[in-house]
């Protein structure tokens, strides 16, 4: 029997990439229907037209249906992709600009801005999960909504919905390393550890042979291949790279170089969210005129969304065929990282079966990153508590635990901004 996939937040300009991946000749999934759900009728109907055109041109009999009623879209779904952005890009711009005005990193997933985004998204995701529990209790929820680790952990621990989270950073890292070593992407296996947007690649196996450590130890200047390939942030001192002995994911720059990144961001005239607003307008024009073409793909890649659906569809394939493939995902920790709570969500290679998701044992966190990861995990868990309870003190405690906030004054002032701006999305904080 063919699968039904439901996409919640399908008005996103990234959605046609999902259909493009589904209709590739190498695809092994029998998908009969994709419901694209979004409350914005005009937007989702436009995305559906582009997506249906991709399926038609590929000669693949997938029914692509725009839906504005969430319950209708969820009913009968086998897999549900969650990719909501609560408050839209306007909220993202707030998450970027307000912290910078208070002397902190401004980002949609990290630091104070990530906290505001998490409160909004966890609140909405739990409401959606209640519908899934009623209408599609056997479905698997595949979360792409940021901050992906926090949202996934809230769903795993506070709903009955089977949930996996995904980020394209490990996938993009694997593809970049494949290019670097001249290998096919399917031959690359990452030894990846950490949390969503706080991860490190320890080793890289290509056809069973470890290749990364020699490359790191042989790097002494920013003019060498690891830097030139974009695998290492230019802010990273080569001596520190060798001392660390791992490749940090891109978002780690916020924790290693917060002063430099903040100064760099404050010099810019526009935030990433404002750039994305311009990109969205351009994409709408292209989709209406030409559909999902190379120009659109280039813009999406520039936004940082390349290969978002690759690990998602790999996971669906492994679950449907009960293969236990190893895919980097956001999963319940269990005993995989013994330095973190068993119930916490971690980003690790995991074996994905039809009836269970098992992270590969990673052993203790290296001491050089252990304290940072544990601090961020404490912040994440406090943030979920704050979203669940609407308790102001817990919200302040979460911000205080975040290494990118670090002072009560900043935490209090930023939370005051949240109370001023986010009432439409966070009713729990305004109840007597």
Average pLDDT over residues 273-286: 93
Bridge pairing between strands 31-37 and 3-8: parallel
Active site residue 254: no
Could you report the per-residue pLDDT of 2-42, keeping only the tens digit for each?
A: 999 999 999 999 999 999 999 987 777 999 999 999 999 99
The CATH code for residues 3-165 is 3.40.50.720
Max distance between CA atoms of the chain, in angstroms, equals 61
Q: Which one is catalytic: 251, 287, 292, 308?
A: 251
What pLDDT digit, counting tens, does each position of 327-347 carry?
Answer: 999 999 999 999 999 999 999
Percent of the residues in the chain that have a pLDDT greater than 90, as a whole number = 95
How much is the average pLDDT of 96-119? 96
The CA radius of gyration of the chain, in Å to the nearest whole number, is 21
Residue 432: pLDDT band (50, 70, 90) is low
pLDDT of residue 268: 87
Confidence of residue 292 (pLDDT cuts 50, 70, 90): very high
The residues with which 37 forms a beta bridge, in sequence order, are 8, 67
Q: Please give the mean pLDDT across all residues of the chain.
A: 96
**Confidence at residue 301, expressed as pLDDT on a 0 to 100 scale:** 87
| Confidence at residue 109, expressed as pLDDT on a 0 to 100 scale | 94
Task: Give pLDDT tens digits for 42-52.
Answer: 999 999 999 99
Cα separation of 200 and 195, whole Å? Answer: 9
Residue 161: is its pLDDT beyond 70?
A: yes
Region 382-411: mean pLDDT is: 97
Residue 307 is predicted with a pLDDT of 85
pLDDT given at position 63? 96
In whole angstroms, how far apart are CA 135 and each of 72, 198, 417?
A: 9, 34, 37
Quote the pTM value: 0.97
Bridge-based pairing state of the strands 140-143 and 357-359: unpaired
pLDDT at 351 over 90: yes
424 — pLDDT class (breaks 50, 70, 90): very high
pLDDT (0 to 100) of residue 305: 67
Instruction: Report pLDDT for 406.
Output: 83
Scanning 290-407, the segments in alpha helix (DSSP H) are 294-303, 309-320, 367-389, 392-401
| Residue 311 confidence class, pLDDT cut points 50, 70, 90 | very high
Nearest to 402 by CA among 426, 416, 382: 382
Q: How confident is the model at residue 288 (pLDDT cuts 50, 70, 90)?
A: very high
162 three-class SS: strand
């Amino acid at each position: 029997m063919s699968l039904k996939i439901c996409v919640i937040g399908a008005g996103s300009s990234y959605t046609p990439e999902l259909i493009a991946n589904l209709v590739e000749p190498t695809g092994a999934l029998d998908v009969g229907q994709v419901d694209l759900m979004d409350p914005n009728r005009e937007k989702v109907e436009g995305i559906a037209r582009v997506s249906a055109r991709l399926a038609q041109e590929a000669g693949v009999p997938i029914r692509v249906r725009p839906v504005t009623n969430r319950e209708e879209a969820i009913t009968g779904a086998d897999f549900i992709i969650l990719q909501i952005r609560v408050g839209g890009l306007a909220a993202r711009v707030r998450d970027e600009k307000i912290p910078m005005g208070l002397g902190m990193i401004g980002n949609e997933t990290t630091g104070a801005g990530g906290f505001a985004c998490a409160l909004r998204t966890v609140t909405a995701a739990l409401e959606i999960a209640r519908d899934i529990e009623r209408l599609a209790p056997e479905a698997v929820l595949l979360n792409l909504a940021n901050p992906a680790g926090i949202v996934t952990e809230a769903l795993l621990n506070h709903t009955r919905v089977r949930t996996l989270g995904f980020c394209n950073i490990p996938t993009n890292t694997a593809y970049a390393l494949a290019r670097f070593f001249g290998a096919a992407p399917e031959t690359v296996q990452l030894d990846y550890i950490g949390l969503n947007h706080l991860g490190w690649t320890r080793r890289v196996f290509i056809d069973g042979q470890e290749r990364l450590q020699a490359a790191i130890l042989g790097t002494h200047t920013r003019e060498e291949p690891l830097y030139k390939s974009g695998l290492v942030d230019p802010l990273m001192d080569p001596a520190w790279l060798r001392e660390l002995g791992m490749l940090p994911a891109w978002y780690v720059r916020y924790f290693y170089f917060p002063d430099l990144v903040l100064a760099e961001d404050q010099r810019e005239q526009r935030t990433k969210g404002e750039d994305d607003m311009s990109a969205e307008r351009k994409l709408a024009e292209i989709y209406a005129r030409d559909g999902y073409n190379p120009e659109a793909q280039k813009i999406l890649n520039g936004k940082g969304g390349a290969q978002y659906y690759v690990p998602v569809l790999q996971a669906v394939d492994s679950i449907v065929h009960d293969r236990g493939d190893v895919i980097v995902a956001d999963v319940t920790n269990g005993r995989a990282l013994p330095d973190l709570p068993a119930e916490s969500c971690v980003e690790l290679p995991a074996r994905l079966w039809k009836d269970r998701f098992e992270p590969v044992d990673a052993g203790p966190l290296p001491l050089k990153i252990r304290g940072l990861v544990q601090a961020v995990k404490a912040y994440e868990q406090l943030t979920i508590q704050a979203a669940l309870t609407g308790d102001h003190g817990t919200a302040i405690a979460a911000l205080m635990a975040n290494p990118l906030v670090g002072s009560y004054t900043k935490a209090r002032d930023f939370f005051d901004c949240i109370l001023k701006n986010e009432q439409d999305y966070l009713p729990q904080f305004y109840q007597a």
